[in-house]
Chain A
């Protein structure tokens, strides 16, 4: 396991989830979950639907009661506190604005509940309208606004009472791509400016990467990967995360001694991996863009550098994707691999050609323990 959780020691733990479980009859939605959320961080729960991320968020909000386990905020248990006393902000997937109130009253609603004075309420609502740039729309009803505007109202409504924690449940899921990206940028800036703790749920990995400082990857009710987007992508802690995030090539090899082995009869070198025993089957994971495909002539011209591996394969298909292109190859043993390169680099081969696929030992992750289902791209997804 090489995933590193960057421990920022300045940050304090704000929320702790300890041994959290949620069962619906026989179905385990959340399975013995432990997680520390730092004060002021932007943390994203990433996973396919049914992975437990939304249930966990619901338990944080108080809409679901854990079957067992603890939720602590600043060391105080939240489990028996009803949602309306938790002082947590939340933005919902379909905005869930109050349809009978105009924008101003929607934003002012939490303040009216808290019986804030009229002057203070007006001041804070104005500030929020300004923050989300909706001042000209203060008197509109939610139904008269676009999806993006409604979501900004929802954000303002969640922030107006200055909660320490803001939960966001796929808040941009219903919006089109361009608008989503704009709002993602706004959200990142908002987080930076307010220093609030945000827990964000999404199934969109690009969104998770764009927004968050840390990502928690959910599968079958557990967190299977936790760390910065960079770490999770470059050094996935397990085969599931590797296959879930981005694209990956898996090569099955048999270890022989320390840091070496055989892939389909060809010798390969691997990084030193604790627990890798002689004769054991293990996986090499190489990202497509970290692998190179060379024609036989190219390979003859450029000798294999030290610390690189090379296997032989046949080109099955070449795809031009604009800024990049991909080359699908099949090894003699039938393993399908994908190599990706910038179009500028060029790929002078044709389907049917023999190629040499190379990768640096340092760029390949080794997994000794995995389930077959982890390797398929759609694992756990719908």
Chain B
């Protein structure tokens, strides 16, 4: 009936498909538009553009400010990924394997940075680093990003750890491995998809983070979104479209990697 396209009746079905098409187009519009815009030749973002060009890309890559920002973004994102996975791994083990009271509550605490509005985390952490004199440092960037990335790695690793049958690890111990050996040789390989997924999420969160970064930034150290943000407040230069396209491109790449890993894990 309402869940079977053949039985729901032509008018309803046509209406639904039409609506869906429009909404899907609405979802795709800004993404496709910004990519096209980055190749448009108009300085004033006329669309459709009078011609196509790579000159904004050339400008982007020739400008040391943009390049530094991109490099800083990459550095912060990689460090954040590493730190978030390293902190998330033991936490996920404790939450899934542990049999202590209050695990639900602890889970809630660990995922709270996901729920508390970013603005508030940003202001709170900014106040702290202001007092400590850490604003504008790489440390401040990474720490603030890890706060919001950590729930993603914890949840991802918990999800794959819950799917892993602990008796396999016990079997390795029976076979003569120590508990630690068993975890490293049996459990870690088994939950690797979750670790990688968590790492990718952490990377994406950091790579795209605006609010925290704007608060942490200094003229010497700013990430790509910060540079975009400050430029955006002055004018709508097409170079921002280039930066946006690069951000989208990297996000897409990470999504593809996640999908490919997922598929490989399923086929294995």
A binding-site residues for B, Cβ under 8 Å: 63, 83
Contact = CB atoms under 8 A, between A and B. Distances in A.
Nearest to A84: B1
A83 B2 CA distance: 13
Contacts of B1: 63, 83
A167 to B, nearest CB: 16
Nearest to B7: A63
B125 to A, nearest CB: 44
Interface in B1-35: 1, 7
A294 B1 CA distance: 61
Interface residues of B, number: 2
Contacts of A63: 1, 7
Nearest to B4: A63
B6 to A, nearest CB: 9
Contacts of B7: 63
A130 B55 CA distance: 82
Nearest to A83: B1
Listed from nearest, the 3 A-B pairs whose CB atoms lie closest are A63-B7, A63-B1, A83-B1
A83 B1 CA distance: 10
Nearest to A63: B7
Nearest to B9: A82
Interface in B180-217: none
A83 B8 CA distance: 11
3 contacts: A63-B1, A63-B7, A83-B1
A83 B7 CA distance: 10
Interface in B57-98: none
A63 B1 CA distance: 8
A63 B7 CA distance: 7
A63 B8 CA distance: 10
A152 B102 CA distance: 42
A377 B7 CA distance: 37
A63 B4 CA distance: 10
A119 to B, nearest CB: 31
Nearest to A58: B7
Contacts of A83: 1
A313 B1 CA distance: 59
B1 to A, nearest CB: 8
A63 B6 CA distance: 10
A83 to B, nearest CB: 8
B2 to A, nearest CB: 12
A178 to B, nearest CB: 34
B69 to A, nearest CB: 52
B248 to A, nearest CB: 41
Interface in B213-233: none
A85 to B, nearest CB: 13
